[in-house]
Chain A
Amino acid sequence: MTGERGALWRWLPPPTAPDATPESASLAVQGNGCRVAAARIRGKQHRHNAVFCEDWFEAAAAGPWTIIAVADGAGSRPLSRVGARASCQAAIRSLTERLGNAGDGALADVLEAAARDARRAVEAAWAERQGDTVGDGQRPLVLGDFGATLLLAAYRPGCLGALQIGDGAILAAAPDDSVRAVTVPEGGDYAGETEFLTDADHLPPPVLDRAPIRHLLLTTDGIADIFLPAETGGQRLLAELRLNGVIGGDTAGGEAPVTIETIAGPEGERAIPVRYLAAYAEALGMPVESLAARSDLLNAGRRSDSTPPEVCLLEWLEGFTVRGAFDDRTLVLLTAVQP
């Protein structure tokens, strides 16, 4: 964390409560012609204010499919972390059961059913807590107290299905590294204004995409909003991930300048090395957008140790510092071995 502002941030544990969520998590999934690196962290704001991480993710293999669920619990909803976890876990169970060896033609129906099953799981979590109150006993729990976004994707080589409720982003990178938004985020004009699984009386239609992909990214707004608009921002995001060892390459030169970010943690301050695209572009004397499209230079600048991608991702989520970006952060990166 840079300078005077960084010194103001504290690390405070979340309160002791049922349904506590871990500080961070990472996961690797391999097979079905792709590999997945996933991670999430409790954001600086929640660490400073002793609040839980309210993001969740799940990723798994289901027959020939790789399936991913990501949710971002609303900061203003007291049990959003429960909604985020319940919806992701239920969606993955539903996709696993319903996809099986289903053909591509059933994918849209399966995704819609998974979203409905996710909502039912959140309703069940609410029902289990009937009689509980919030606001120091001032009112009973309502379903909206579990509000969270939900992003779903099912992939197998040659076929991608996705569904998005709320903000965040589902992005696909083509083999030429051009990036497209797969789904349309549901949000207002301003940050923090979005739809939630519990609020929506509609389901946005699933999107089926058969264009070849090299990477698929699902991310909550804690990362997505840093890299808007999706097309150019997505390419910068991929470049940052490549520089920091999350995306591999044939070579790794470690030539990009390293910034040491100091992050408050439970055991005091932690120093995390981060390679920034902008700093590397400045060192090379070229525009950021041009460098983001040059995989040869990005590989030359890339982190050069053998740390697994999901660990590199976790470290990058912790260390990557942008002013005003202090939400919980979740990113799931699928890389196609066979495009």
Chain B
Amino acid sequence: MDSYSRRMPVYLVLDTSASMVGEPIECVRQGIGALLADLRDDPQAMETVWIGVITFHSRAERVAPLTSLDRFRSPRIEAGGQSALGAALTLLEESLAEDLSRTNGGKRDWRPHVFVMTDGAPSDDWQPVAERIKTRYGDILVACAAGTDADHDLLAKLSPRIVDLSRLRPEDLRSFFQWVTAEIKQGVHGGGG
């Protein structure tokens, strides 16, 4: 029977602005592929993890709606333009509201995980929506400061947890996606009793 008991929603919110053009965006694509391959070897992840991807450049796009791990297909991701973090968080807020079934909705999902990778120089207003997400869902965001221009003080307002990816080298991006995979697995394995 293929109905679900509990899901662990995971959102990747990825900066695909001009700073990511070239090798960095290719590394992001490969990183998502490696993340999927690794999680698909884990039966607990296979039964619970749902993934959604939002990218942002001059605007935000839901390039992959929240989908179960076995049905998820890597989205097409291109880089260029500005860094509309506020638009991405607005889209995330909408997605959370649409996707999550909470206790009073009948089922109990695991707490969602949201990984926001950004160069830390947003081109739009993002703080009000970040506050709303925090108020409604708690500290579910993990921020990744990507590149030397990332403003850590600004990111600290987004999330108490900041991962520093100081350079956009392929090995740094690979490490980031390995870290995200480990975080998701820790969440999956830490649940249950």
Contact = CB atoms under 8 A, between A and B. Distances in A.
A322 B1 contact: yes
B43 A191 contact: no
A45 B107 contact: no
B191 A192 contact: yes
B5 interface: yes
Contacts of B57: none
B48 A228 contact: no
A228 B2 CA distance: 16
Interface in A207-235: 220-222, 225-226, 228-229, 233
Interface string B109-125: 11100000000000000
B161 interface: no
Contacts, number: 105
Interface residues of A, number: 45
Q: Among the interface residues B41, B47, B106, B192, which one has the most CB atoms of the partner chain A within 10 A?
A: B192
B47 A5 contact: yes
Contacts of B107: 225, 228
B3 interface: yes
- Interface size on B, as a range, is 20 to 34
Contacts of B42: 8
B5 A226 contact: yes
Interface string B79-106: 0000000000000000000000011001
A76 B190 contact: yes
B131 interface: no
Interface of A: 2, 4-5, 8-9, 43-46, 48-49, 54, 72-76, 80, 187-193, 220-222, 225-226, 228-229, 233, 259, 276, 278-279, 321-328
Contact of B192 (A4, A43, A190, A278): A43
Contacts of B41: 8
Contact of B191 (A2, A191, A220, A322): A191
Contacts of A191: 6, 108-111, 191
B48 A324 contact: yes
Contact of B44 (A76, A193, A326): A326
Q: Among the interface residues A2, A4, A192, A220, which one has the most CB atoms of the partner chain B within 10 A?
A: A192
Given A190-B111, A322-B1, 20 more contacts: A2-B1, A5-B47, A43-B192, A44-B43, A45-B189, A48-B43, A73-B193, A75-B192, A189-B111, A190-B108, A221-B108, A225-B107, A229-B106, A279-B1, A323-B2, A323-B3, A325-B6, A326-B47, A327-B192, A328-B192
B44 A190 contact: no
Given A80-B193, A279-B1, A9 B106 contact: no
